Structure 1
Amino acid sequence: MNILVIWRLLTVGGVNAGWRNRALYLKKRGITTDFLYTKDLGGMHMMEDVANVYVAKKKRDVHDILRKGYDAIIVVDTSQAYEWLNDVGYAGPIIVEARTPELLKLKRNLQGVETIAPRQFIVPSYYQKRLLSVLVNDQAPITVIYNGLDASFFQPSVCDDVPNKKKNYCLCRTVRWKNWRAFLRIVSLLQKERDDIECWMIGGAHSVDKQTFETEWKEKKLDPFIKWFPVVPYQQMPHIYARIRQSGGCLLATTKVESFGNTFIEAMACGVPVVAPRVSAMPEVIAHGKTGYLFREHHTRGAVRAIEAIIDDQERYEEMSEAGRARVLAQFTIERCAETYVDLLQHIVGEQT
């Protein structure tokens, strides 16, 4: 079976991380996955070693790709694709993945979806299913399939190059909806009260907020407390998590909204507790008090307390580390999550033939 996944942005983010893992598993099950993007924002290194990756903007080039005879096509939050599929008269089954976690943006991404008559909607969480249900009524069934990861790749490991005795935690991206200003507020409060924490910022090299973030960070005189790594290859992330765990640190998220949250399961799989706001899909992924803590949105002091509760109690840290790994193995392995996708594809393509 050959399938094509269409998405606008080739980024180093959760959507592509999820599909990278899924494509590797699908290949083992005899399903070849190709990817079509309209813009590369630095994510090519993440995908090119697992699948054929096309980046095309011109309609003619897109149409040529769509005519390659795919058994099924999956459209991820890309309304342009509905027009393309109609242009070429694609007659195979179409699945729509709805991953945008904000209602107005999701509505925009679904404009015209009725013209392609999707066989199935896929969402990565029950939060996202509730959101999508507001917009699509009974056009097609909505199935929840969590993102999965390779738990043999993301696993606890010993790290010998922790730079100092300070604790470490990281926030993933400097984009507006990841709420980096909340991150800076939390760091500001932490640095006033203690000197044993070093904050690592991961990603953001292609963010439109890059310069603004850097300016505000320096204006607040937080240079001694923050290390920023604008680009970290996906393949190196287990090593980053190992360094955080070895230091006794945690992963901090200040995001305003998530339809799932790949970095959370990556961290937990590596034995790193997670601190995040209690919003959107976060409570589905993070078990409050067991694999990390959920704080009230916009509550800076609550986030600081959660971080301190983790890093100041070694016994609790070890318990959360083990519980996080166990939760991923029970719910978020690629074998468990992608097999559901395999069953769905085989059923839909089988019906078509």
Structure 2
Amino acid sequence: MKVLFVFYVPSGGVETLNRQRSIALKQVGITCDFLYYSKRRKLLNHENSNVFITNNDQEIQNILRKENYDAIVITSDYAAMERFRKLGFKGKIILEIQGFGPQAVARQQLQLAIPYVQNYCDALLYPKTPHIGAIFREFFKTTPIFEFNNCFDHKAFTYQTLPKPSKPIVAWIGRLEDNKNWREFLSIGQQLIMKRPEIDLYMFEDPSLSTQQERNDFIQLKSRLGLDKHIHLLQNVPNNQMAAYYSRIGDSGGFLCSTSKVEGAPYSLLEAMSCRCPVLTTDSDGVRSSILHNQSGKYYQIGNIQHAVQQAEELMNDTKLRLYIIENGLLHLQSQFSHQQYSRHFSRMLKVLNA
């Protein structure tokens, strides 16, 4: 069995998912190749997989003819289903939605996708993101829908014992764009630093995925909030280095703060949990399968800075609760996001579709 996964660029959560599921599916005899339309940075985290970078019809057609895939999973780019059919692909096409940003945008995009799904799609797939599931069931009455959690290898990406940082670290991961809500993170950071001036703020980002205007706004706001000496901007950190960062953040007494307005199924939270780094997050919909309040992480009310600070202080100061969240988060991750569980669900989906 051979499957091609298609996405715009090798970056962010989809790239992480592709690497993870390549390993998981290989264990059950499914070979995974990956096609990205463009590459905006030199760094590629893929290993031991065929990775194609092209948006040229002739090149894509040559790949399809040569590799003879049983199925194609297209993430987000619903119009590509028509393109691949016209390039001669006759196998199963699965449209996967990992997230479309704000719910209004997701609804608008999936409404536009209706004719493509009706004419070219064999199945829909999503990672138990509630708002995506609701839209799927409303718009696509006759198309098979599959929902299961993304996979994560907690044994390979795990806690590392390293020298303990001298200062607490509060971290944020994302793009400098509105949905990731970086402005709110700066406000939370400022309030925490007013109470504990020794706190460092680590912001991990991919600079190729932000506009110049957004970057200028960021520079101005961090300066206006007096955060220049507290913020450490870490750009394009290779994924194989992130476990060390998460481990140090957790050991520092800090946490990962996710301020997103809407998320599909963010990998950064799973990675942090696997490295004993607790998580404080907004209820951004897609996080509900990984974060249970005061069980595997903590929620705060989006837009409510004081509530975020209150939850953050509890996470940093209540040693008993912090340890419980860390340990329980690990158990939750291991039981709900395993490679075995993912490969079982994925294989069953292909079998149902007669791929």
Residue 10 of structure 1 aligns with an amino acid whose one-letter code is: P
Provide the C-alpha distance between the structure 1 equivalents of 2:198 and 2:76, rounded to a whole number of angstroms: 42
Residue 200 of structure 1 aligns with an amino acid whose one-letter code is: Y
Q: Which one of 235, 239, 242 corresponds to residue 240 of structure 2?
A: 235
What is the deviation of 1:64? 1.8
Match in the other structure for 1:55: 53
Provide the C-alpha distance between the structure 2 equivalents of 1:214 and 1:274, rounded to a whole number of angstroms: 26
Residue 199 of structure 1 aligns with an amino acid whose one-letter code is: L
Q: Which one of 191, 194, 212 corresponds to residue 193 of structure 2?
A: 191
User: Compared with structure 1, are the counterparts of its residues 63 and 42 closer, same or farther at alpha carbon in structure 2 (3 Å cutoff)?
Assistant: same
Match in the other structure for 1:174: 175
Q: Which one of 287, 290, 297 corresponds to residue 282 of structure 1?
A: 287
What is the deviation of 1:115? 2.1
Residue 28 of structure 1 aligns with an amino acid whose one-letter code is: Q
What is the deviation of 1:342? 2.3
Q: CA RMSD in A?
A: 1.9
Residue 113 of structure 1 aligns with an amino acid whose one-letter code is: V
Residue 76 of structure 1 aligns with an amino acid whose one-letter code is: T
Equivalent residue of 1:67, what SS?
Answer: helix
Residue 350 of structure 2 aligns with an amino acid whose one-letter code is: L
Structure 1, residues 119-166: CA drift from partner, whole Å, max 9, x if none? 221101141212322332x23121111111111022233112x442x2
Q: Which one of 62, 65, 73 corresponds to residue 64 of structure 1?
A: 62
Q: How does 1:249-328 map to 2 (within 5 A)?
A: 249-328=254-333
Q: Which one of 148, 159, 167 corresponds to residue 151 of structure 2?
A: 148
What is the deviation of 1:289? 0.9
**TM score, norm. by length of structure 1:** 0.91
Identity value in percent = 27
8 Å CA contact 1:24–1:50 kept in 2: the answer is no
Match in the other structure for 2:85: 86
Equivalent residue of 2:6, what SS?
Answer: strand
Match in the other structure for 2:160: 157
Provide the C-alpha distance between the structure 1 equivalents of 2:176 and 2:218, rounded to a whole number of angstroms: 9
Note the residue ranges of structure 2 that are not aligned, 5 or more in a row: 101-105
Q: Please state if 1:124 is matched with 2:95.
A: no
8 Å CA contact 1:22–1:334 kept in 2: the answer is yes
Q: Which piece of structure 1 moves more, 227-236 or 151-160?
A: 151-160
**TM score, norm. by length of structure 2:** 0.91
Q: Please state if 1:113 is matched with 2:117.
A: yes
Note the residue ranges of structure 1 that are not aligned, 5 or more in a row: none
Match in the other structure for 2:103: none
Structure 1 runs of 4+ aligned residues shifted over 6 Å read: none
Structure 1, residues 272-317: CA drift from partner, whole Å, max 9, x if none? 2110112312222201011221111111111111111011122221
Residue 193 of structure 1 aligns with an amino acid whose one-letter code is: K
Equivalent residue of 1:268, what SS?
Answer: helix
8 Å CA contact 2:257–2:281 kept in 1: the answer is yes
Q: Which piece of structure 1 moves more, 52-61 or 83-92?
A: 83-92
What is the deviation of 1:52? 0.8
Structure 1, residues 68-97: CA drift from partner, whole Å, max 9, x if none? 311111111113412322212321111111
What is the deviation of 1:268? 1.2
Equivalent residue of 1:155, what SS?
Answer: coil
8 Å CA contact 2:69–2:91 kept in 1: the answer is yes
Equivalent residue of 1:9, what SS?
Answer: coil
Q: Please state if 1:247 is matched with 2:252.
A: yes
Q: How many residue pairs get matched?
A: 344
Equivalent residue of 1:303, what SS?
Answer: helix
